[in-house]
Amino acid sequence: MIEAHELSKEFRDRKRGLVRAVDGVSFTCRPGRIFGLLGANGAGKTTTLRMLATLLTPTGGRALVAGHDVASEPEKVRAKIGFMSNSTALYGRLTAREMIEYFGRLHGMDGAALRARVDTLIGELGISEFARGRCDRLSTGQKQRVSIARAIVHQPEVVIFDEPTNGLDVMTSRTITGFIHRCRAEGRTVIFSSHIMSEVERLCDEIAVVHDGRIVAHGTMDELRAKTGRTQLESVFLALVGEPEEVAS
């Protein structure tokens, strides 16, 4: 469960002065459902997710992740979340197995329990054949699978994905989207961000459209269609953020 209430983040930028990257965002993500943040680059998606993952501290509002406050109990929050983005890379000089074990240990796992969990993940995600290979020698697809294992080694209640399929080929993207579906089936709370309309449409139970740090619309795909009176997600999106559609489309 994620509850964000009037969540805000201000940065001090040398050139632009005070920047409100996220401006009073509120939403709720429930277990067993996939919540999507849809928005253009720079809309505030990454900042929002980074606040939920306790990488950044909110400057306003509050957020509870798995019952813990992100600002006052960051370590408890991190124990309950699995976070993946395209800037969560692997340690090149560790083997795939060592990588997963290392993060298990950082989450306080140890001994036989850790070994059993790592074995399970290696089996389930098809990592066995390259488990002893160094991470910097793995293919992109193999790396993604190790990243998934790393993110869920501690059985997190909440899984946060920041543009997880950005820059990946179709095959590798499928590994990720398959994994997102699995997380929902297992009853985890899933939140993910993307600027790819079709991906959001295909995966999400609920969508929040983010623009300029604010949520401009919120609901299921059908609700958003009804609200704008359009069927194509792209047109729905453009209508919601208030951009005129190109004449050709």
Partner 1 sequence: MRAARTVFLKEMREMLRDRRSLFVAFVVPLLVMPVIFVIVALTAKSRERTDREEVLPVGLINTVAIPGLPEAIGAQANLAPRSFAVREDAETAMRDQAVRAILIVPIEAAGAFLEGRAAAAEIVYDGASDKSRLARDRLEKVLQEAEKAEQLRRLEARGLNRSLLEPFDLKTTNLATPRRTGGFVLGAILPYFVILWTVVGGMNAAFDLCAGEKERGTMETLLVSSASRRQIIAGKVGAVWCLSLASALFSLVGLIVSLSGTFRAVAHIGGETIEVSYGSIAAALVTVIPLGLMMSSVLLVISAIARNLKEAQTYVFPVSMSVIVAAMLSTILGQENTLALAAVPVLNTALAMKQVLAGIFNVPFLALSLTTSVVYALLTLKLAVSMFERESVLFRA
Summarize as ranges the residues that interact with partner 1 (CB under 8 A).
Answer: 11, 13, 50, 53-57, 75-76, 78-79, 81, 83, 85-94, 98, 102-103, 105-108, 150, 154
* Measured CA distances, 14 to 19, 44, 46, 65, 201 (Å): 10, 19, 20, 32, 38
List, in order, residues 6 or more apart from 114 with CB less than 8 Å away.
101, 104, 105
The smaller minimum CB distance to partner 1, of residues 103 and 237, is found at: 103
Q: How far is the CB of 127 from partner 1 (least distance, A)?
A: 17
Q: Which is nearer to partner 1, 76 or 184 (CB)?
A: 76
Q: Which residue type is seen at 12?
A: R
d(CA 18, CA 11): 6
Beta strands in 31-128 (DSSP E): 34-38, 60-65, 68-69, 81-85
- Whether residue 4 contacts residue 25, with contact meaning beta carbons closer than 8 Å, is answered with yes
Q: How far is the CB of 205 from partner 1 (least distance, A)?
A: 24
Please state, in angstroms and rounded to a whole number, the distance separating the CA atoms of residues 148 and 138.
Answer: 14
Name the minimum Å distance from CB 240 to partner 1.
28
Least gap, CB of 97 to partner 1 (angstroms) = 13
Residue 5 or 105: which CB sits closer to partner 1? 105
> Closer to partner 1 at the Cβ: 37 or 109?
109
Q: Which is nearer to partner 1, 81 or 224 (CB)?
A: 81
CB of 9 to partner 1, least distance (A): 10
